[in-house]
């Protein structure tokens, strides 16, 4: 009548009630079964984990903890139950045995000793943490296991850390935090709910691994692969196939694997993504796919990223030997961005500073500009600004450009023809006349992820319009575009020239200098005739 037994394949079977069989029982037996139901209801009220019955894919994921697999992941479509399984698996490892249902206790990685430390990394605070992750944790955790048995007393909102009665704790970070936030504490587990994007995400991941060494910790991913063939793809696959070995085990699955998701909902989401096959494969079936539509397809890490080096100059006290330029995208409803680069004698623009941040006012940006100048002992030849900075506020009568001037930063209004700007950037990338220092991960990330709004075959109709690209995560690219478009144009057509690496070009230039220049036979203007 009431069942919570193990099924033939070793996974827990759902609770079930056979009402007809219950009615057919003798009164005494009915009373006994009803008492069991009452006890079950009380258990579920005290401990929500008693209501968790994982489906096959979730069980495969939990089993990796019991097997001691160092790196495990669920890479699956939306609504598979990834986050739910990730939170439960964390709780299985954290909680004392009396709080873990018997069919879940077998998924514990090692014998319980308390003082377990978990860190979960989510996309952001307002949506992923506040609206998804924390409600999920509160939904599943038994209150008695918390510090003083109360969520309000156990949760520290400032530090985003949850403390348990036995001294264990669970803290939460986000993808947009600095690398320093990932240092410090020794951990038993790192859990990434959705993949950390770009170079910053890779650095966060690497820093996290160092936190696990002393406590022999493990790593868990619960994610839908929406960023394409990134570094996470490299970590979790071998020859393009999700790994399932002793070190890394990837559980794959689709939306259809979740037996608790209604058919109507599944069909509705499938119809919504039907016109975008790539998105359908990633969102519904959890497949790693190569995302089409990159704007800067020319950008390559091996060609366009270089180790940091100081601004060229004769000695530490002299002025730079190259002209230095700065560019600002002030940002109103998006992060503000500041970019510095120099241009060498071969017209190679080298970006050595690129930072962006939210909630900055003009005084903040001007202060950042001044700090970069002071740290590098230089003054830019000129500083370009978003042309919208010329617009005057109808109330104050002043413009952003005037405010920068008031704070000591004189600016030149840039050009905002996006398609022309993309062309300038693309031409420099193709001819290796644009280099980004490795210390500019946010700009590198923008280059690698900036995309057209529509598939390539539909771009023609959008050329020249603001709708051609997805205006998101492009603040540094905009600032760089303004700066590069302010450069004087060259008469030479670089795209038609032979490809020559920077070392060879420098050697050729040196040969020209030591060989002398052809003498100009023409007379100066005004010289007497022979």
Kindly tell me the sign of the dihedral angle through the C-alpha atoms of 468, 471, 473, 477.
Answer: positive
- Smallest CA-to-CA distance from 73 within 262, 254, 231, 220 is with 220
Domains in the chain: ranges and CATH: 2-46 (no CATH), 52-283 (3.40.50.300), 301-512 (3.30.420.280)
Listed ranges 42-56, 267-281, 410-424, 453-467; the one with the highest mean pLDDT:
410-424
pLDDT value of residue 520: 47
Question: What is the model's pLDDT at position 176?
Answer: 87
Q: Is the pLDDT of residue 477 over 90?
A: yes
**Token couple for 490:** 């060259």
Residue 500: band (very low, low, confident or very high) from pLDDT cuts 50, 70, 90: low
Beta strands per DSSP E along 358-432: 383-385, 412-413
Instruction: Specify the pLDDT at position 492.
Output: 44
Q: Quick check: 341 pLDDT over 70?
A: yes
Q: What pLDDT shows up at residue 41?
A: 67
Residue 262 has a pLDDT of 64
Query: What's the average model confidence in pLDDT over 511-520?
Result: 54
Predicted pLDDT of residue 310 = 94
Q: Cα–Cα distance between 231 and 208 in angstroms, integer?
A: 15
Band of pLDDT at residue 519, cut at 50, 70 and 90: very low
CA atoms of 42 and 22, how far apart (whole Å): 20
| Cβ atoms < 10 Å from Cβ of 216 | 11
pLDDT of 12 over the 50 cut: no
As a whole number of angstroms, the distance between CA 435 and CA 423 comes to 16
Question: What tens digit of pLDDT does each residue of 420-458 get?
Answer: 889 999 999 999 999 999 999 999 988 987 877 654 444
Q: Give the containing element (helix H, strand E) for 446.
A: helix 441-449
Task: Tell me what pLDDT residue 490 has.
Answer: 56
CA distances from 117 to 53, 132, 165, 171, 216 (A): 25, 21, 13, 8, 12
| pLDDT-based confidence at residue 495 (cuts at 50, 70, 90) | very low
Strands 161-163, 349-357: parallel, antiparallel or unpaired by DSSP? unpaired
For the cut 90, the answer to whether the pLDDT of residue 503 exceeds it is: no
Q: Where are the beta strands (DSSP E) in 358-487?
A: 383-385, 412-413, 434-437
SS3 label, residue 508 = helix
Q: How many CA atoms lie within 13 A of 338 on its CB side?
A: 20
The average pLDDT across 397-407 equals 88
Give the best-scoring range by mean pLDDT among 58-72, 187-201, 319-333, 513-527. 58-72
* pLDDT at site 26: 84
pLDDT at 20: 75
Once rounded to an integer, what is the mean pLDDT over residues 343-356?
A: 95
- pLDDT (tens digit per residue) in 26-74: 888 777 777 766 666 666 677 889 888 899 999 999 999 999 999 999 9
| Phi, psi of 338, rounded to the nearest 5 degrees | -135, 130
Please indicate whether residue 263 or residue 501 has the higher confidence score (pLDDT).
263
Residue 309 has pLDDT above 70, yes or no: yes
Residue 497 in this model has a pLDDT that exceeds 50: no
Contacts of 505 (CB under 8 A, 6+ apart): 346
**Average of per-residue pLDDT values in the chain:** 82
Confidence of residue 295 (pLDDT cuts 50, 70, 90): confident
Confidence of residue 331 (pLDDT cuts 50, 70, 90): confident
Read off the pLDDT of residues 82-123 as tens digits, 9 standing for 90 and up.
Answer: 999 999 999 999 999 999 999 999 999 999 999 999 999 999
What radius of gyration, in Å, describes the C-alpha atoms of the chain?
30
Average pLDDT over residues 487-492: 60
Share of the chain above pLDDT 70, in %: 77
Q: Over 50: is that where the pLDDT of 396 sits?
A: yes
Strands (E), 418-530: 434-437
Element (H, E) at 36: helix 27-46
> How far apart (Å, rounded) are the C-alpha atoms in residues 18 and 2?
7
Residue pLDDT, tens place only, 111-162: 999 999 999 999 999 999 999 999 999 999 999 999 999 999 999 999 999 9
Predicted confidence (pLDDT) at residue 496 exceeds the cutoff of 50: no
pLDDT for the residue 5: 40
């Amino acid at each position: 009548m009431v069942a919570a037994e193990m099924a033939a394949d070793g996974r827990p079977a759902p609770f079930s009630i056979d009402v007809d069989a219950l009615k057919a029982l003798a009164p005494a037996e009915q009373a006994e079964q009803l008492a069991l139901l009452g006890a079950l209801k009380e258990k579920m009220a005290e401990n929500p984990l008693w209501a968790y019955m994982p489906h096959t894919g979730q069980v495969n994921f939990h089993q990796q903890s019991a097997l001691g697999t160092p790196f495990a992941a669920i890479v699956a479509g939306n609504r598979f139950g990834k986050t739910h399984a990730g939170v439960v698996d964390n709780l299985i490892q954290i909680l004392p045995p009396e709080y873990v249902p018997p069919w879940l206790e077998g998924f514990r990685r090692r014998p319980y000793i308390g003082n377990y430390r978990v860190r979960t990394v989510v996309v952001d605070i307002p949506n992923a943490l506040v609206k998804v992750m924390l409600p999920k944790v509160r939904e599943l955790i038994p209150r008695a296991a918390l510090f003083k048995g109360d969520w309000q007393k156990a949760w520290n909102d400032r530090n985003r850390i949850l403390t348990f009665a036995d001294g264990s704790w669970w803290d939460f970070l986000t993808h947009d935090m600095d690398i320093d936030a990932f240092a410090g504490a020794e951990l038993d587990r790192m859990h990434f709910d959705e993949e950390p994007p770009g170079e910053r995400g890779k650095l966060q991941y690497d820093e996290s691994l160092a936190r696990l060494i002393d406590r022999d910790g493990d790593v868990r991913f619960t994610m839908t692969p929406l960023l394409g063939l990134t570094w996470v793809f490299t970590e979790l696959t071998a020859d393009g196939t999700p790994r399932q070995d002793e070190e890394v085990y990837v559980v794959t699955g689709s939306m259809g694997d979740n037996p608790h998701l209604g058919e109507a909902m599944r069909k509705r989401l499938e119809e919504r993504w039907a016109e975008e096959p790539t998105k359908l494969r990633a969102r519904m079936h959890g497949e790693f796919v190569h995302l089409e539509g990159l704007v800067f397809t020319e950008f390559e890490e091996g060609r366009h990223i270089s180790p940091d080096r100081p601004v060229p100059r004769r000695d530490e006290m002299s002025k730079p030997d190259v002209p230095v330029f700065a560019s600002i995208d002030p940002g109103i409803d998006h992060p503000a961005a500041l970019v510095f680069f120099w241009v060498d004698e071969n017209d190679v623009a080298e970006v050595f500073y690129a930072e962006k941040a939210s909630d900055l006012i003009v005084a903040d940006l001007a202060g950042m500009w001044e700090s970069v100048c002071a740290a590098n002992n230089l003054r830019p030849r000129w500083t370009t600004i978003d042309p919208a900075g010329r617009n005057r506020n109808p109330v104050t009568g002043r413009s952003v450009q005037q405010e920068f001037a008031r704070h000591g930063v004189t600016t030149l209004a840039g050009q905002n023809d996006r398609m022309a700007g993309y062309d300038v950037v693309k031409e420099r990338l193709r001819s290796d006349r644009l280099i980004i220092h490795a210390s500019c991960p946010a700009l590198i990330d923008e280059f690698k992820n900036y995309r057209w709004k529509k598939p390539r075959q539909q771009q023609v109709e959008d050329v020249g319009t603001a709708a051609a690209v997805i205006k998101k995560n492009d603040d540094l690219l905009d600032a760089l575009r303004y700066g590069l478009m302010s450069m004087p144009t060259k008469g030479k057509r670089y795209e038609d020239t032979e490809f020559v690496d920077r070392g060879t070009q420098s050697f050729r230039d040196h040969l020209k200098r030591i060989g002398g220049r052809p003498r100009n036979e023409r007379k100066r203007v005004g010289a007497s005739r022979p």
